[in-house]
Amino acid sequence: MIYPLWYNHIMNINENIRFDNDSSAFKSRTILGASQTPGMTKFLMKRGIVKNEKQATVFMISISTLFFLLSLYVFIVYVFDIRLFNKQPTMTPEQIQANKERMQQMRDRARNNVNTQQNVQQDQ
């Protein structure tokens, strides 16, 4: 019984709401009744980078997004040491030779371990 009353009350409120079609246009902020263009927007329009305030807003949001993504990339690469785009670190010839020697030592140890295990099994 209460639900239909509240529903009717809410629906009556929604019927009184009206939208002006002109309110969707982009407008400058207003301070004390006089519209005022932000300083960065004025700068961009003065330099000829953009033609109007809407373009200036889109331009500034795009630049902010670009710098955010760039800082995220730098953070990931240098803090977490993650190589993006499969870029391999460059190594000097000495480092390459040292890696080959280490790999050979690991292979030799693995062979010795297998031989040792086989000898132990044969003795039992």
Query: Same domain for 97 and 66?
Result: no
Residue 98 included in any domain = yes
Confidence at residue 43, expressed as pLDDT on a 0 to 100 scale: 92
Residue 108 included in any domain = yes
Inter-axis angle of helices 53-79 and 39-47, nearest 10: 100
Residue 56 burial by CB count (10 A; 0-12/13-18/19+): exposed, middle or buried?
A: buried
Residue 58 included in any domain = yes
Across 67-81, average pLDDT: 88
Give the structural domain span for 62: 38-87
Residue 11 included in any domain = no
Residue entry with tokens 């000097």: 92
> Please, which pLDDT band fits residue 61 given cuts at 50, 70 and 90?
very high
CA distance 9 to 23: 27
Query: Same domain for 53 and 69?
Result: yes
Percent of the chain with pLDDT over 70: 60
Element (H, E) at 105: helix 93-123
Residue 28 included in any domain = no
With 60 as the cut, is the pLDDT of residue 2 above it? no
Residue 13 included in any domain = no
CA distance 117 to 122: 9
Confidence at residue 105, expressed as pLDDT on a 0 to 100 scale: 92
Residue 1 included in any domain = no
3-state secondary structure of 36: strand
Tens-place pLDDT, residues 84-119: 776 666 788 898 899 999 999 999 888 888 777 766
Q: Between 1 and 76, where is the model more confident?
A: 76
CA distance 121 to 80: 46
CA distance 79 to 83: 11
Query: Same domain for 108 and 121?
Result: yes
Query: Same domain for 75 and 42?
Result: yes
Tens-place pLDDT, residues 4-45: 555 555 555 556 666 666 555 566 566 666 667 888 999 999
Residue 26 included in any domain = no
- 36 forms beta bridges with 29
Look at the chain and report how many structural domains it folds into.
2
Query: Same domain for 52 and 73?
Result: yes
Output DSSP code: residue 48: T
Confidence at residue 14, expressed as pLDDT on a 0 to 100 scale: 55
